[in-house]
Amino acid sequence: MSIKEDEFKNDSDNNLGDDFDYQPNAEDDADDDDVDSLDSTSKSEEVYGVKRIADLMVEDIWNLEFRTEDEACQFYNAYSCWHGFVMRKDDVVRDNQGRIISRQLVCNKEGWRNMRYLDMDDRSREARSLMRTKCLARLRVKLDYGCGRWKVSCFVESHNHDLTPPQFAHLVPANCRLTVTDRVQVENLHNFGVKSCHIMGYIAFQNGGYRHAGFTRKDLYNHIDRYRRAKVKNGDANAAINYLIGKSNNDPLFFGKYMFTSDERLEHIFWADGQSIIDYHCFGDIVAFDSTYKKNKYNKPLVIFSGCNHHGQTVLFGSGLLSDETTETYKWLLETFVEAMGGKSPKAIITDGDLAM
pLDDT tens per residue across span 307-340? 999 998 999 999 998 888 888 888 999 999 999 9
Residue 301 has pLDDT above 90, yes or no: no
Residue range 105-134, pLDDT digits in tens? 999 888 877 766 667 777 777 777 778 888
8: left (phi over 0), alpha (psi -120 to 50) or beta: beta
**Domains in the chain, number:** 3
- Please give the C-alpha separations between residue 231 and each of 179, 187, 238, 245, 306, in angstroms, as whole numbers: 20, 11, 11, 17, 32
Does some domain include residue 72? yes
pLDDT of res. 139: 92
Which secondary structure element, helix H or strand E, spans residue 182, and what is its range?
helix 180-191
Rounded-to-integer distance, Cα 257 and Cα 340, Å: 9
Under 8 Å between Cβ of 35 and 19: no
Residue range 136-184, pLDDT digits in tens? 899 999 999 888 899 999 999 889 888 888 777 777 777 777 888 889 9
Rounded-to-integer distance, Cα 108 and Cα 287, Å: 59
Does some domain include residue 196? yes
pLDDT of res. 207: 85
Residue 264 has pLDDT above 80, yes or no: no
Give the percent of the chain with pLDDT over 70: 78
Does some domain include residue 20? no
Cβ burial, residue 254 (10 Å; 0-12/13-18/19+): buried
Read off the pTM. 0.48
Does some domain include residue 63? yes
Does some domain include residue 6? no
Residue 90 has pLDDT above 50, yes or no: yes
Residue 25 has pLDDT above 60, yes or no: no
Residue range 55-64, pLDDT digits in tens? 788 888 898 8
CB atoms within 10 A of CB 60: 16
219 and 246 co-located in one domain: no
243 and 192 co-located in one domain: no
180 and 208 co-located in one domain: yes
215 and 308 co-located in one domain: no
Does some domain include residue 315? yes
Rounded-to-integer distance, Cα 295 and Cα 216, Å: 30
Under 8 Å between Cβ of 281 and 341: yes
Q: Identify the domain containing residue 200 by its residue range.
A: 176-231
149 and 198 co-located in one domain: no
153 and 188 co-located in one domain: no
Q: Where are the beta strands (DSSP E) in 28-116?
A: 41-42, 51-52, 64-66, 87-94, 100-107
218 and 243 co-located in one domain: no
pLDDT of res. 78: 85
- Please give the C-alpha separations between residue 192 and each of 41, 159, 185, 187, 188, in angstroms, as whole numbers: 44, 47, 11, 9, 6
Grade residue 280 by pLDDT with cuts at 50, 70 and 90: very high
194 and 277 co-located in one domain: no
Rounded-to-integer distance, Cα 69 and Cα 101, Å: 9
240 and 346 co-located in one domain: yes
pLDDT of res. 30: 37
Does some domain include residue 37? no
91 and 142 co-located in one domain: yes
225 and 243 co-located in one domain: no
225 and 269 co-located in one domain: no
